[in-house]
Amino acid sequence: MKLMKKRLKLKIKKFIPVNAPLVTNQDALELYKAAKSGWISSSGRKINEFEKKFASFIGVNYATTVSNGTAALEIAIKALDIKKNDEVIIPNFTIISNALAVIKQNAKPIFVDCEKYNWNMKIEDIEKKITKRTKAIIATHIYNYPLEIKKIKKLCKSKKIYLIEDAAESLGNKIDNKLCGSFGDISIFSFYANKHITTGEGGMITTNNLKLLDRCKALKNLCFGKKDRFHHEDIGWNYRFTNLQASLGLSQLSRIKKIIKKKKSIGKYYYDLLKKNKNIFIPAPKYKKLINIYWVVGILIKENLKIDAKNLSKQLLLHNIETRPFFWPMNEQKILKKLGYTNKNEKFKNSDHIAKYGLYLPSGLTLEKKQIRDICEVVNSITN
């Protein structure tokens, strides 16, 4: 690997971060106006406006803001009355938030392996994990392509279990012209800095069920009493969103189609420059009927190359290119092993493999074509 670095003539002088959020002058102006209004906390008309416009965009009846995507998952689990010893099926290859939301309600996460080349959970394996204790499935759209969630929804309906759709990474993506985040009994989104729209931190819960909406609203706001405010009716959280964040969210949501178009163009440009490299795999813009809107641009090192993702990441960082490793699988998480939620005899071949050999490249909305060309030149030089 040192020899390859010496032979590489390209010099990237300016550091390229894995993501840089795009905050426009209009975004900043909306934030300024919200701040000057005095409504800077969890009250203010911008919150209600953002919720209504977001619900309309997704194509659902209701939406309620929360402090982040992890909070949204925790609220969803409790709102569905999932209790101790209940089981919730989740991807083995995902952010740990999926598992933590289940564990915090004393329920048990049940893991399902992912596909090797589209990285979503294997739908044919889900039914095998359903038992009498199964109360819900958290269906998470991972990185690129959306899950074939209609199949999961049909399964949930037949087994009379809840569907929690985790659309944190797939805002704006569609399945048969219906947007991700509109399929679940409860669906959740994240507005973290690297998401398609950002409010710094923040998230959203969507649903078509008014009772579930009311329950989620209570849980995110300390379950204040309906008659006597400080007589609390249940254990909730302070997972509220601010009017400042909503002003930024509204501004970004107004250009969501442009954002998605830009992300697609970034991903396609990467794909065109890397697809001929026989030592790595990069997801195509389309897979079957599924569209890739490239929340991130992930690559997978093939087995014939004598390096893993950590090695490649270190080499790229030497050239001022920041990367991120793929999620570490749930079956290998130290804390989940310690708490007894894993089974050492259960194998997750694909999750283990892509966690070791996968990483994603810079793909922020501020990225320029020349930077992508430079990144790909470095990647191709190292891996070839």
Q: pLDDT tens digits for 270-297?
A: 999 999 999 999 999 998 889 999 999 9
Residue spans per domain, the chain: 2-19+256-383, 25-253
Biggest distance spanned by C-alpha atoms of the chain? 73
Phi, psi angles (nearest 5°) of residue 277: -75, 115
**In 3D, which of 304, 316, 306, 302 has the Cα closest to residue 360?**
316
Q: Cβ of 84: how many Cβ atoms within 10 Å?
A: 8
Q: Look at the domain 2-19+256-383 and name its fold.
A: Aspartate Aminotransferase, domain 1 (3.90.1150)
In this predicted model, what pLDDT tens digit does every residue of 117-176 receive, in sequence order?
A: 999 999 999 999 999 999 999 999 999 899 999 999 999 999 999 999 999 999 999 999
**In 3D, which of 190, 233, 164 has the Cα closest to residue 71?**
190
Q: Of residues 229 and 248, which shows the higher confidence score?
A: 248
Check pLDDT > 60 for residue 327.
yes
Task: Identify the architecture of domain 25-253 in CATH.
Answer: 3-Layer(aba) Sandwich (3.40)
Check pLDDT > 90 for residue 329.
yes
Using CA atoms, how far apart are residues 123 and 60, in angstroms rounded to an integer?
Answer: 25
> Which residues are paired to 291 by β-bridges?
286
Using CA atoms, how far apart are residues 29 and 46, in angstroms rounded to an integer?
Answer: 14
pLDDT band, residue 4 (cuts 50/70/90): very low
Check pLDDT > 70 for residue 88.
yes
What tokens does 355 get?
């966690």
Instruction: Tell me the pLDDT of the chain averaged across its residues.
Output: 95
- Per-residue confidence (pLDDT) for residue 79, from 0 to 100: 98
Strands 87-91 vs 108-112: parallel, antiparallel or unpaired: parallel
Check pLDDT > 50 for residue 1.
no
Q: Indicate the SS3 state at residue 364.
A: coil
In this prediction the pTM is: 0.95
2-19+256-383 and 25-253 share one fold:
no
Contacts 24+ apart (CB under 8 A), 36-39: 37/243, 39/243
273-to-104, 304, 356, 363, 372 alpha-carbon distances in Å: 44, 20, 23, 14, 9
